[in-house]
């Protein structure tokens, strides 16, 4: 297992819309890749990590959601391969951050209830309805796989502030 380097804002791969991956091609790589992605996500205190955030062009992500609000609660892991959001309902303005923009937080609108279709790590097609943090994580990671970042959803009036913050924060990124 290894903690991998997380790509940062400005790297081209973060703006690429990733093509669906053939599960059979990906399957032999999954055990090590998923362990590395999970270890990386935990090391940087993330909730999710898309493959392009570690420099890979696979349309997949790992999401780690606490099972309760308790500190050190066990995590439920979701592996979403070739995900597609089928429906979105509700709307909430909430603060969001991203491992590829470390230190930056901004309010964005997200659906409060989503239904997503994806292939899991065992090659099984899944359809999952999610609310709360899981709904937000699904949307965030699918956006990554579509070449979008959470800052794209920021209120246009706040974008100049966000740009200034990024310029200042970038000095500390590796």
- The binding site comprises 98, 140, 144
pLDDT of 174 over the 80 cut: no
Question: How is residue 172 written in tokens?
Answer: 């500390």
Euclidean distance between CA atoms 104 and 106, whole angstroms: 7
String of DSSP letters for 49-111: EEGGGGT---SEEEEEEESSSSTT--EEEEEEEEEEEEEEE--EEEEEE-TTSTT-EEEEEE-
pLDDT in tens, 116-162: 999 999 999 999 999 999 999 999 999 999 999 999 999 999 999 99
Residues comprising the binding site for Fe cation?
Answer: 98, 140, 144
In this prediction, residue 1 carries a pLDDT of 67
The per-residue pLDDT for range 52-98, each reduced to its tens digit, is 999 999 999 999 998 888 888 889 999 999 999 999 999 999 999 99
- Residue 88: which residues within 8 A CB-CB, separation 6 or more? 111, 113, 114, 139
Q: Map out the domains of the chain with their CATH numbers.
A: 12-170 (3.90.45.10)
Reduced to 3 states, what is the DSSP secondary structure of residue 121? Answer: coil
Residues with a known catalytic role: 141
Q: Tell me what pLDDT residue 172 has.
A: 86
- pTM for the whole thing? 0.95
Q: By three-state DSSP, how is residue 131 classified?
A: strand
């Amino acid at each position: 297992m290894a903690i991998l380097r997380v790509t940062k804002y400005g790297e081209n791969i973060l703006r690429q819309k990733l093509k669906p991956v053939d599960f059979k091609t990906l399957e032999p790589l999954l055990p090590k890749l998923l362990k590395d992605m999970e270890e990386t996500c935990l090391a940087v205190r993330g909730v999710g990590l898309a493959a392009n955030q570690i420099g890979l062009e696979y349309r997949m992500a790992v999401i780690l959601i606490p099972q309760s609000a308790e500190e050190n609660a066990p995590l439920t892991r979701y592996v979403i391969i070739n995900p597609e959001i089928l429906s979105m309902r509700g709307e909430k303005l909430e603060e969001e951050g991203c491992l590829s923009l470390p230190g930056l937080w901004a309010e964005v609108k997200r659906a409060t209830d989503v239904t997503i279709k994806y292939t899991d790590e065992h090659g099984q097609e899944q359809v999952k309805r999610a609310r709360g943090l899981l709904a937000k994580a699904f949307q965030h990671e699918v956006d990554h796989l579509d070449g979008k970042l959470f800052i794209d959803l920021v209120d246009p009036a706040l974008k100049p502030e966000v740009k200034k913050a990024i310029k200042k924060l970038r000095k500390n990124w590796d």
